[in-house]
Amino acid sequence: MASPDLLFNLRNLFYLGAYQAAISSSDVAGLDADAAAERDAIVFRSYVALGSYQLVISEIDSSAATSLQAVKLLAMYLSGDKEGAIASLKEWLSDSAIGSNPVLRLIAGIIFMHEQDYPEALKHTHSGGTLDLHALNVQIFIKMHRSDYAEKQLKSMQQIDEDHTLTQLANAWLGIAVGGSKIREAYLIFQDFAEKYPMTGMVLNGKAVCCMHMGSFDEAETLLLEALNKDAKDPETLANLIVCNLHLGKPSSRYLSQLKLSHPDHVLAKRTASAEDSFERALQAVA
């Protein structure tokens, strides 16, 4: 008889974006050394997701496990030390003793995806080995507009564990990317999460995006305002509210200003800034 998965609940809270809940419920008894290391990585990744970069950087010292050192690199990268984090990352990846560590490879994929260097990201993630790596591959291929490759990754995940939270999430992400009849399926996946786990901004945004695809902008707005109440600075909530309000004929300038201030590197903020610059140049050319 298989031993119980003591980290099942903790993982699901993290995957669905309930980061504070994951941190608060991380005191799990009876963990062996490997499970304790995985627990610690999830907790520190939760702090990273909440923007507590300096806490992670200060708490993880040079004697910590490779998986935790990798999470520290992600915190360094997101806190602004991009060059230092990438230099250390490349050095560690080339080290035969630790280069194959799955968490290090996962963090490499996340960082290079942020850099929009998708081939470099896939160099470290494409071989999979864990559901986390397969799920990241799905995200990378979707960003590359290669839903065919993303679907192959999803099938690999389904063969490993069809009911796993990450497999269901990847299925929903791909459904939204492909569109059509898959949107309804994605909506039902997010609805199922909403009924089983704490309602998070991630789940609310997932449902809202599906609603927008189906033309239900009023329902989408309700979901997004609920997400905004949970985190007023969440970039995806702000970006989705901008799009939703445009479709509803409502003003979106306040949300756009918030997005530009708190997340100037967000793709929507960058595109808007670029369009505004082009418009100003056109006006000056005419003047």
What is the per-residue pLDDT for 263?
79
Quick: pLDDT tens for 185-224: 999 999 999 999 889 999 999 999 999 999 999 999 999 9
Distance (Å, whole) CA 205 – CA 231 = 12
Count the neighbouring beta carbons within 10 Å of the beta carbon of residue 127: 11
What is the per-residue pLDDT for 201?
94
What is the per-residue pLDDT for 245?
93
Quick: pLDDT tens for 91-129: 999 988 888 899 999 999 999 999 999 999 999 999 878
**Cβ(50)–Cβ(20) under 8 Å?**
yes
Q: What percent of the chain has pLDDT over 70?
A: 93
Distance (Å, whole) CA 36 – CA 112 = 27
The CA-to-CA distance between both ends of the chain, in Å, stands at 79
Q: Which of 204, 229, 234, 232 is nearest to 219 (CA)?
A: 204
Quick: pLDDT tens for 144-191: 999 999 999 999 999 999 999 999 999 999 999 999 999 999 999 999
Q: Which of 82-86, 221-225, 268-272 has the lowest mean pLDDT?
A: 268-272
Whole-structure pTM value: 0.89
Residue 232 has pLDDT above 80, yes or no: yes
Count the neighbouring beta carbons within 10 Å of the beta carbon of residue 234: 22
